[in-house]
Amino acid sequence: MAVLEIREMGDPVLRERAREVSAEELAGSEVQRLIDDMIETKRAANGAGLAAPQVGVPLRIAVIEVTAGNPRYPYKPPIPLTVIVNPELTPLDEVTFATNEGCLSMPNVRGDLERFENVGVRHLDRQGEVQESTRRGLTAGTFQHEVDHLDGVLFVDRMADMRSLSTWEEFERHRKDDFVARIEGLVRRVGS
């Protein structure tokens, strides 16, 4: 496995809609190696997720995982390693929540936006098996963030008010405590 270069805002690959992965491609050693490298890269960067376009590959693949003690996201509930291929997301209702997100492709930047609180997720796993699940709260937000990457969308595109855009340090200094208190309430209410 290898740690890959993470593409940053301004790289055109981050603004393209990634293409579907065929069953043959998914079964092949090249895509399987890409998935392993994406997992290694996400873990090395302490990310919650990583989409293939973020490593310069315009395929509809993302890896998501949050472990206890993640220094970037200590407030996020754990998510076991999940590989999503050709995902489809469906909001289950109109309920949204206010969150504050960062992105490995936008280092040291965070901002406020709304995400759907409850989403249905349908995707292939790395073995090509269809998986369906319901994701709630912050976990739903993480899945939406990664699927956005596959559509060429960055979190800043979803921000209604750019005044909340800040560096990571300034977020921690001025806004983190209020945000974490609010998000802990969401986690208690919806469970993730």
Q: What's the pLDDT tens digit per position in 30-56? A: 999 999 999 999 999 999 999 999 999
Q: What's the pLDDT tens digit per position in 87-129? A: 999 999 999 999 999 999 999 999 999 999 999 999 999 999 9
Q: How many CA atoms lie within 13 A of 61 on its CB side?
A: 26
Tokens of 111: 């901002």
Alpha-carbon distance of 21 to 148, in angstroms, equals: 17
Q: What is the DSSP letter of 109?
A: E
Plot region of 137 (φ>0 → left; ψ -120 to 50 → alpha; else → beta): left
Per-residue pLDDT, 185: 87
CA angle 114, 112, 3 (to 5 degrees): 100
pTM: 0.95
| CB contact set of 127 (below 8 Å; sequence gap of 6+) | none
> Residue 185 burial by CB count (10 A; 0-12/13-18/19+): exposed, middle or buried?
exposed
Choose, from 65, 101, 117, 146, the residue flagged as catalytic. Answer: 146
146 part of the active site: yes
Per-residue pLDDT, 183: 87
